[in-house]
Chains A and B, each alone.
Chain A
Amino acid sequence: MAKELIKGNVAIAEAAIRAGLEAYFGYPITPQTEVLEHLSRRMPELGRAFVQAESEVAAINMVYGAACTGARVMSTSSSPGVSLMQEGISYIAGTEVPAVLVNVMRGGPGLGNIAPAQSDYYQAVKGGGHGDYNPIVLAPASVQEAIDMTVLAFDLAEKYRNLVFVLADGSIGQMMEPAELPEMRPLEHKAHDWAVGGDKTGRERRVLSSIYLEPYDEEVANLRMLKNWYRIKENEVRFKEYTTEDAEYLVVGFGTSGRVALSAVRKFREKGIKVGLFRPITLSPFPEDRLRELAEKTRGILVVEMNMGQMLDDVMMYTGNKLPIQFYGRPGGFVPFPEEIEHEIQRMINSDLKIDHDPRKSWLKRMVGEN
């Protein structure tokens, strides 16, 4: 397939179709709506299931039902809508059925705004619904990655019977850039040995549920899910790194903020200053081993996010906070300019690089002053 100029949301929708999307259930919310719109035409055209649900609550439960049949199923939404979906997300996790969800994040909390943000990191990575579970979370930084990760999301969901989030933001969803779509995979409804439906003649009935009334049974289920999670951690950690081989200073950022940080990092390399970028692709499972390795040889880390420091906590936790870590964030719906990040990297280089146990507070002081 050749490259074409394509909008992020449309690319996600079309990539899902080509990855074998059998059913889509969604609800309009900016800045994600083009996914729903594109699929409202394409899915019926292809004879596949499409429903504009009455709410995100209903949409996620339609996803839940379709997931129980073993179908490749997806919903997409943006921050407030994903909050509404948390009930169904927890049930899907508890039933151990595969599903793909895309969150095209916007500024929050509350109604917030419709500008790009990364403030649902905690919700996605730590699991926003009730109970113990771990979703896989993929963070694209371009339209091409949004396409590739949507396809990957279906394969991972099916392989591990696990929830997979594609955690994009409003700029990825709304931006047009050249990208290549994958070939159309033939549509098949796989007869999984755990799924309900079809003709049950000659087999035991199947009951898919997240209820384990006996605490013993629930504990067994919880531990089974954790074991599955460690299988995912062993096999599916993904990240990208740029000029890290000899980096004295490391910038860590995901998705759009990681992409903007790369421009800043390159500026320093042009000047001969050894700065590298580490960009986690799987925010969950987090590429903690590689981050620790890089941290060993690094004088200081700058975490850049479009929020108030959420991945920052994970970076501090996984490195044991044994080296100077600083933070720069733009919450509220701002995408930082490369120059801002350059300024922050320069500030880090110029600073005395002491271990800071509360880099978020230091950043807040820089943003709003002492008072």
Chain B
Amino acid sequence: MVTLVKSENIVYERSHSFTETPTHYCPGCTHGVAHRLIAETIDEMGIGNRTIGVAPVGCSVFISHYFETDFVEAPHGRAPAMATGVKRVLPNNIVYTYQGDGDLASIGMAEIMHAAARGENITVIFINNAIYGMTGGQMAPTSLPGQKTTSSQLGRDVETQGFPIRMSEMIAKMDGASYVVRRSLHDPANIRKAKKAIRIAFETQRRNLGFAMVELLSTCPTNWGISPVDSMQWVEEHMVPVFPLGDYKVSLAVGDMRI
């Protein structure tokens, strides 16, 4: 690649942890933002040579195409179990899962809760956009009351279809969890906070401090049926009140970390 800008003048560049492959995500989807934050974190920590990602089933099933790190591909919802298997054998590698809400909060509920209960020394990035993206917009365990999806066409009726599940709040109650926070990707200020949380979550693992999860409120303009800009607003107006942002668990050891 020809360098047109002197290195001392570079203020922003492609993360070294990315491959050259363009992502397949829809316009306005925040998967790209979440990927970027992870890639920057891996770059900054210098852990690209020993990071192993565990890919989910869902829109991000091909996340391994975009990262210059080793990857394994889990069955739907089983990423925390698979990560357990990898990490227990290779404790010196950095192992993280990247999971959507259908994957983590529905079919993989048992695996995520027990990984947290065991205090597995892994990092979990949880993308919550309140819908199933890849299969075409069905109701997710995190869909909001009244939210219209292809499988709740009259709006999620809590009487028959239940209530949204707040994962961060639940996992924070597990003694094995060390760092559990919810952030959002709907504007630059929140993205910066998300970046910091992801860094802490990876540092938690690097320092063997146990289970860490960052939940990221995310968008799905395609299946929500609104524009990318309106999607950002929808997160702020509708999702944040149901899924309040904040730190749900910061163990004393994590709180004492200096990065």
Contacts and interface: CB of A to CB of B under 8 A. Distances in A.
Nearest to A64: B82
Contacts of A205: 67-71
Interface string A30-62: 000000000000000000010101110111011
A341 to B, nearest CB: 43
B85 A197 contact: no
Interface string B84-109: 11111110010000000000000000
A73 interface: yes
Nearest to A195: B70
Contacts of B26: none
A73 to B, nearest CB: 7
Looking at chain B, what size class is its interface with the partner chain? Answer: 20 to 34
Given A88-B78, A197-B70, A69 B86 contact: yes
B176 to A, nearest CB: 13
A274 to B, nearest CB: 52
Interface stretch (B48-56, B138-146, B154-162): B48-56
A368 B73 CA distance: 50
Contacts of A91: 75
Contacts of B93: 197-198
Contacts of B82: 61-62, 64-65, 68
Given A66-B89, A196-B70, A207 B64 contact: yes
Looking at chain A, what size class is its interface with the partner chain? Answer: 35 or more
Contacts of A73: 85, 89
A129 to B, nearest CB: 11
Interface of B: 48-50, 52, 54-55, 61, 64, 67-75, 78, 81-90, 93, 110-111, 113-114, 118
26 contacts: A23-B85, A53-B81, A54-B110, A54-B113, A57-B81, A61-B85, A61-B111, A63-B85, A64-B74, A64-B82, A65-B72, A65-B84, A66-B85, A67-B85, A68-B72, A73-B89, A87-B75, A87-B78, A196-B52, A196-B71, A196-B72, A197-B93, A199-B50, A207-B72, A208-B71, A208-B72
